[in-house]
Amino acid sequence: MMWSRNLICKAFVIMLLSTNSVMGRYIAVKVGLYDFTSEVSRDFYSTTPLLLVGTNIFEMARLEINFSAGMAYNKISYSDSKHTLNMYPAFVTMVYNLPNVGSRVQPYFGSGLGFLAKFDKNEMLPNPHINYTYGYHILAGLKTHLKKRYSIAFTMQYNSFTPSNTESINVSGVIHTLELRYNLGKLLKTTNK
């Protein structure tokens, strides 16, 4: 469990610090809810709070590629025992910002690939159930600029994850997030000479 958190953190730092002249850097913090779409998952897990941190790794005109990673945590009572769910998602998303001339609100949509590490711990069982899965996602949202370097966005993202085996519960779901972005501007950009 600790190694996956370290891997996600290291990947995020490498993406943030790599330099390229076409990169438009920002750091984003997203808070929201992960709502499972499978009936079995909803009965067992419930809606889970989520925290993601992200950055864009490529930007050109209206197109950008984003990387985000984070965690979702929930503790529930199920059949007279405590059940803990930890999920560590990572997403790579291609986003297209739609033109909206004359408005402060900018719509966007995108799709990409996702990876999810899931750790279930039931106090009745001696070992946690560890599961890794992958899948795709589609998203749409609205963003607006607050000040020169800050913007805020609301995103809805549908995730379709492939269960890794027949015993795994389907963790596909919808993420609703509120995002605060800080634009680093020219701080990390390089110039071609």
From 147, 12, 9, select the one nearest 66 (Cα to Cα). Answer: 12
Q: How confident is the model at residue 7 (pLDDT cuts 50, 70, 90)?
A: low
- The answer to whether position 108 is within a domain reads yes
Q: What's 7's domain CATH number? A: 2.40.160.20
- The answer to whether position 130 is within a domain reads yes
- The answer to whether position 176 is within a domain reads yes
Cα torsion 53, 144, 172, 51 to 10°: value is 30
- The answer to whether position 193 is within a domain reads no
Q: Is 3 left (phi over 0), alpha (psi -120 to 50) or beta?
A: alpha
Q: What is the pTM of this model?
A: 0.81
pLDDT tens per residue, range 110-156: 999 999 998 888 777 778 888 899 999 999 999 998 888 899 999 99
- The answer to whether position 119 is within a domain reads yes
pLDDT tens per residue, range 158-189: 999 988 776 677 889 999 999 999 988 754 44
Query: What is the domain range of residue 146?
Result: 2-16+25-187
Q: What is the spatial distance between Cα 29 and Cα 6, in angstroms, rounded to a whole number?
A: 18
Domain tally, the chain? 1
Q: What is the spatial distance between Cα 67 and Cα 93, in angstroms, rounded to a whole number?
A: 7
- The answer to whether position 192 is within a domain reads no
Q: Which of 2-11, 35-44, 161-170 has the lowest mean pLDDT?
A: 2-11
- The answer to whether position 82 is within a domain reads yes
Q: What is the spatial distance between Cα 164 and Cα 191, in angstroms, rounded to a whole number?
A: 45
Radius of gyration from C-alpha coordinates of the chain? 18
